A = this chain, B = another copy of it.
């Protein structure tokens, strides 16, 4: 499997679906829809939607069209979290993926509301998984909504953002940094993988293995993110490097050194790949994705 080609083809599928659930940018009141489209279009790798698709493949079924409400919803959620995270009261980032962040382009008030709106649309779109628009039984859809909302709440993504925000006032130790990583980025990855697998009919046993994969994947992803912030290429990243250090934010390399950080990322990737063993060939995309995020340059 050529993972670069896989990512490219899935990204195309994702981006074709991503805007079809939202009002067109000109819809009244225009500015909010423009802001939502602006931030969604800023792109990135669409890693979370692709994890939905790859996890569904791993347990056997993968019809991207029926999964679209799920993979679009998780990208709306990811984008909402970035918009709010970039705000001056939070991470205060003026740039995101080489473009002015939402509040720089549209003002803080609209950026707050654009984030709120993307989060709200995520839940509306999740209901489209069920009939008449979708094909999945309602009890499963309710379970997916519960799992996602739980993982992006204070026990998950928001909890991670809170501890991250507090870490700017006082430097954190390694357990706190791992808490931030597991929650701020890990929880959404995990619910993407498990929700995709659930819709594809995963067994409890398969969900357990995928849960191990997701934990290791999320941690590796975030450690590599920290490493790239130290020694990445700003042109590839679309943002200046060293921004964590400048904010006196704790990072993995900052706490344990770059060599130990790399080693820990590699161990996580090995653990992720091992967790996929029972799935055989069907999990090749998930396997290659774990290796890919370890080697990524942006």
Measured CB to CB, the residues of A under 8 A from B are 23, 27-29, 31-33, 36, 80, 84, 87-90, 107-113, 115-117, 119-121, 123-124, 126-127, 130-131, 137-139, 141-143, 145-146, 149-150, 152-155, 158-159, 161-163, 165-166
Contacts and interface: CB of A to CB of B under 8 A. Distances in A.
B124 A29 contact: no
Residue with the highest number of chain B CB atoms closer than 10 Å, among A80, A87, A108, A159: A159
A166 B142 CA distance: 36
A162 B112 CA distance: 10
Main secondary structure of the interface of A (DSSP, over half): helix
Copy number of this protein in the oligomer?
2
A127 B142 contact: yes
28 contacts: A23-B155, A29-B159, A29-B163, A29-B166, A31-B162, A31-B166, A32-B154, A32-B158, A36-B154, A84-B116, A87-B112, A89-B111, A89-B112, A90-B112, A110-B162, A113-B165, A116-B116, A116-B119, A116-B158, A117-B158, A120-B152, A120-B158, A124-B146, A124-B149, A127-B145, A127-B146, A127-B149, A138-B141
B89 A154 contact: no
A113 B29 contact: no
A166 B165 CA distance: 30
Nearest to A149: B124
A23 B127 contact: no
A120 B141 contact: no
Given A113-B165, A116-B158, 7 more contacts: A84-B113, A89-B108, A89-B112, A110-B165, A119-B120, A123-B123, A124-B145
9 residue pairs, one from A and one from B, having the closest CB atoms: A89-B108, A138-B138, A124-B149, A127-B146, A29-B162, A89-B109, A123-B149, A120-B153, A32-B162
Contacts of A146: 124, 127
Contacts of A155: 23
Given A113-B165, A161-B113, A166-B31, A153 B107 contact: no
Contacts of A113: 84, 158, 161-162, 165
A150 B124 contact: yes
A247 B256 CA distance: 52
Contacts of A163: 29
Contacts of A121: 149, 153-154
A41 to B, nearest CB: 17
Contacts of A112: 84, 87, 89-90, 112
